[in-house]
Structure 1
Amino acid sequence: MRLLEAFSGTAIQLPNRIAMAPMTRGRADDTTGVPHPRTAEYYAQRASAGLIVSEGVWVDRTGKSGPGIPGLVTEQQTSAWREVTRAVHEQGGQIFAQLWHAGRVSHPGVTGRTPVAPSAVRQAGRIFSAEGWTDTVEPRALSEDEIGEVVQDFAAAARRAVEAGFDGVELHGANGYLIQEFLAGNTNRRADRYGGSVTGRLAFPLEVVAAVTDQIGAARVALRISPGNPENDIVEDDWKEVYSRLLAELRRYELAYLHVIDTPDAEALSHLRPLWPGTLVANLRSEDPTSSGEGESLIESGLADVVAFGRLFIANPDLPARFALQAPLAQADRDVYYGARLDGYTDFPAFEPDSAKSACSACS
């Protein structure tokens, strides 16, 4: 199985080609942004992944998108993450921190602040806050000076990530959050140097990459993108031009990897793979979790070097071993994906082939 083969890129060396995708779990202290005490156990249980990408962590409280999401801003948060990285490394794993600013996908009921965005364009739909599902609000357009401050927020969080022992950082430029809001024409209606033309819309993402690589080195920096993804009311009719230009600019850096979210038809991967000479991590978004067969196809076709699996890792902490053994895969109830509850977090066992547990009703 190609997924189980070691991978050696210019910046990262992995024992297999299976990454654990970043997944919000909502278990952090909602007031302090400090990860839950069991977070170290949660990630250590999954350290057999070739690479773990942490749940998104906010780089500024204004960029927090929902209850229970951790930050990487304070010393208390940094200290807690240090326990997480230590636990993962003791199990032989590698872990990157996903640095996240939610932009307009936030709410005063979450942060106590008005959300910020490239332009004052309200997101359609609803958002989950401490009071439950609620209507979105119109964000406030960032000034040019404030954009520079957000760039430095990313750089500062990257420094803290390294201090906390992370092997690198992944910048969250996907799924309709702040970085993608600058890239998309329907959310970026600015007339200054950060908007208008494709060159203008690329300015903020490229400034973030430059600032973060300057702080911790390009070999420790990755970027996640989702070209054409309509999540969180994003419209990118010109995604091929925008992301082709973005990758052309990014090639000056030898980044750890590029993480591309795509649909199973792999239209974005097929377009961008020839444009990206470095390591590419693929993450498929669909109603069902990505299967080992789909992952194998991505590797075999050359569309990806590494494949990120998300939901399967929730109930299968030993996912690479289960793939190797062609073992049954446990299924997690969607009710345990998010929230402060501890069941459905660290209580999924590893596969035991000689135990009656392997025939449990939760497996399929």
Structure 2
Amino acid sequence: MQHKTKSVFLLAVTLIAGGCSRETVQKMYDVDFKPTNRFAKNLASLPGQFQKDTKALDALIQSFTGKVEKRWGSKNVKIAGKTNYVKYIDDYSSRADVNFDQGKVVIETVSSTEPLSHLKKAIVTTLLTPDDPKHVDLFSAKKVAINGKPFLYRQILDQDNKPIEWSWRANRFADYLIQHQLKVKQVNFRKSYYVEIPMVENQVEIRSYKYASLIRKASRQYGIPEDLIYAIIKTESSFNPYAVSWANAYGLMQVVPKTAGKDVFSKIKKRSGQPSPAYLYNPENNIDTGTAYFYLLKNNYLNTIKNPTSLQYSMISAYNGGAGGVLNTFSKDRQYAFKKINNLQPNQLYWALTNKHPNKESRRYLQKVKNYKDQFNAGKL
């Protein structure tokens, strides 16, 4: 008891001095921040946006990949993800892979009959794919309905450095690519004819501008800073409205229907059930739902945290690993965990969540979001 009192006193003195190092926090603040099971029975589960819910998605992808393997082989399966758009057409013989992280588009075909004709069709389809994800089924080879402004408008320029919006320009660029940049490789004992198209340097900014009004609207409605919403979208999807992930999460803010989506429907929208993938693929619905979930984190699940900066760090971490993951970083007893958090400076809390959070992915997640927030505020996002 005497030792504990002495430790608390020393910690208080250090905090008042304002120079508490991470080593001091780690050594003095209750055994290296390692979770303890001492009060496990007292910690009610707190919802997490990315609690894995993949049963339906797993079944869909298993069926889908089986069809892809027949054409491309088991080693050449590509599937849409958070930051890449993959679409198959022509009975799975042609595909486009738009990699937003690399800023590169690869369009290829393994068709054995008239491959260049199939490749041109795939190029034109990719260039004119609409901006609305509801028109595109990523887990089939269904034809893409071409209407409205293209998804990749201004993110790819043709041979004359012009953006591609109309069919005539897309067809002309496709002819140019096949004539001047055609490549061939072996894929599963077949020839793959393909082209690679670089995206413009500021492709992320171009996509982000499209959602500025929606982000501003959600920010004002729920009291969540715009820079945080931008940083979350950049982290989750790189502003890819077609994004889908392993956690059965959809759209720009990668909302999971069964967890965060259901929570928002129940507590904020006063609706039963949960949002459908089609609902979450709508950018306005997605940004609204993701931001509303941050409102719940701020005002319901983590509202005991007093410092605004510490609260925001905790909200970011909880968006990825759940509010329970944040608290478990400090104690299995919820009230004690909140007490610990409120006794830390924001930089100390940040260090703990990026070094001692039980989930390694959540540690990296907070770092990424903070970096993107800083970039946004410096005018670089």
Question: Under TM normalisation by the shorter chain, which class is it?
Answer: under 0.3
TM-score of the pair, normalised by structure 1: 0.25
TM-score of the pair, normalised by structure 2: 0.24
Q: Which structure has greater helix proportion?
A: 2
Structure exhibiting the larger radius of gyration computed from Cα positions:
2
Q: Which structure has greater strand proportion?
A: 1
